[in-house]
Amino acid sequence: MSETPLSETPQEFEVRPRTDGRRLDAYLASRFIDYSRSVLQKVIEAGAVEVNGRQARASTKIRSGDRIRISLPPLHDPTPKPEDIPIEVVHEDEYLTVVNKPAAMVTHPSRGNWGGTLANAIQFHYDKLSTVAGEDRPGIVHRLDRDTSGLIIVVKDDLAHRRLGLQFEHRQVHKEYRAIVYGAPDRDSDYIEKPIGYHPIVREKMAVREPVDGGREAVTFYEVLERFRGYALVRCEPKTGRTHQIRVHMHSLGTPIIADKPYSGRDRLTLADLEVPGAQPDDPAGVLIERQALHAHKLRFTHPITEQPLELVAPLPPDMARTLEALRAHRQAEAPPKRPR
């Protein structure tokens, strides 16, 4: 904890009832939700937590009535700091900008990702951004997952932000994605209508969940654009905006997005995976993609101020384009057998 100064004024409190047997770090994480469990474990390791007057360990089992004394580090300032990070602008006017976000970039700061985000980048490039979403998300109307590339709208004006927000709320923003998946859906196109909620076990994942278990309506239209042996290129149009929606829905068909570790169990695709002659699994040159093959390809919406229609497209990024080239070269689907006359 030497890099994170502790507060000078410790907090003292009594453990609430019905907590007997819980680990100290887990209990503190449930009480101080603005701090990650790993940060709280470091606070404990630094000797800044006492239980009944004695320094405790993260694994210490607590009981109702125990007295805890803790010194916490100050919370991180949520306002994104300007960082000179290049951005690819697809469209810009005085009210909004549309950016082609690269993979491996978080949209806005959050616990564990305070820097290097799109919000940090746009703070550097623009003097004026909308404030509707709060100080930690200036100009941000919607988001993309960290390893999903593609189009995202940044708004400079509060009125434009509110009007655009209503378009998202009323499902008037057309979003089209490209995804490369393992296997291929049975149908050439269809709607997936399966509610999505938090995964019952894995905190970082979502899952198909019935409404009684917290699932919320989720609808995705898909169309298979190309089929390969063991893979497919799919166009996806989410009609709702649930977290990880396309990733969860494609997984629910038994065709998860390639290199999507939480939902497919694999974090890369290589030439060796495609059974290319001579390709070695451990050859770095043979790696095709190392993140979920999902790209926000097209956005269509009405400009919130001029009321003119806008349709914007971001081409496939190099890793997805490289993967498609390899699939076309090495995994072309066999022609269907001819029917006898």
DSSP-assigned letters across all residues of 63-80? -TT-EEEE--PPPPP-SP
| Cβ contacts of 307 within 8 Å, gap of 6 or more | none
The structure tokens listed for 129 are 């951004």
d(CA 256, CA 262): 10
To the nearest 10°, the Cα dihedral for 294, 297, 302, 306? 120
Same domain, 177 and 151: no
Interaxial angle between packed helices 37-45 and 24-31, expressed in degrees from 0 to 180 and rounded to the nearest 10: 130
Task: Check if the beta carbon of residue 293 is closer than 8 Å to that of residue 78.
Answer: no
Same domain, 177 and 165: no
Catalytic residue among 25, 145, 273, 319: 145
d(CA 135, CA 238): 28
Q: Would you call 107 helix, strand, or coil by DSSP?
A: coil
The structure tokens listed for 103 are 């993979």
Same domain, 21 and 64: yes
The structure tokens listed for 74 are 């100050």
Question: What distance lies between CA 260 and its chain's CA centroid?
Answer: 11
Same domain, 151 and 185: no
Tell which residue, 81, 94, 217, 87, has the closest CA to residue 152.
Answer: 87
Of 24, 53, 70, at which residue does a domain stop? 70
Per the prediction, the chain carries an average pLDDT of 90
Go through the chain and tell me how many residues it has. 341
What is the residue type of 26? Answer: A
Tell which residue, 85, 81, 130, 132, has the closest CA to residue 104.
Answer: 85
> Per residue in 55-77, pLDDT tens?
999 999 999 899 999 998 876 66
From residue 204, give the alpha-carbon distance in Å to each of 160, 190, 201, 241, 300.
Answer: 32, 28, 9, 17, 30
Same domain, 277 and 242: yes
> Per residue in 250-279, pLDDT tens?
999 999 999 999 999 999 999 999 999 999
Residue 145 bears catalytic tag: yes
Q: Which helix (H) or strand (E) holds 191?
A: strand 189-193
In a domain, 3, yes or no: no
Of 19, 46, 70, at which residue does a domain stop? 70
Same domain, 188 and 116: no
Helix, strand, coil share (%) of the chain residues, nearest 5 = 20, 30, 50
Same domain, 161 and 236: no
pLDDT of residue 1: 38
Which residue has 């089209």 as its token pair? 176
Q: Would you call 226 helix, strand, or coil by DSSP?
A: strand
Same domain, 179 and 146: no
Provide the domain count of the chain: 3
Of 170, 191, 214, at which residue does a domain stop? 170
In a domain, 1, yes or no: no
DSSP 136: T
Same domain, 94 and 209: no
Tell which residue, 15, 55, 59, 56, has the closest CA to residue 37.
Answer: 59
DSSP 38: H
d(CA 124, CA 139): 12
The structure tokens listed for 285 are 């040159």
d(CA 312, CA 107): 19
Same domain, 52 and 127: no
In sequence order, the β-bridge partners of residue 23 are 61
Q: Which helix (H) or strand (E) holds 135?
A: none
Query: Which residue range(s) make up the domain with 146?
Result: 79-170
- Per-position pLDDT tens, the chain of length 341: 334 455 557 899 999 887 788 899 988 988 887 787 888 898 999 899 999 999 999 999 999 899 999 998 876 666 788 999 999 999 999 999 999 999 999 998 776 667 889 999 999 999 999 998 887 788 999 999 999 999 999 999 999 999 999 999 999 999 999 999 999 999 999 999 999 999 999 888 999 999 999 999 999 999 999 999 999 999 999 999 999 999 999 999 999 999 999 999 999 999 999 999 999 988 999 999 999 999 999 999 999 999 999 999 999 999 999 999 999 999 987 544 444 44
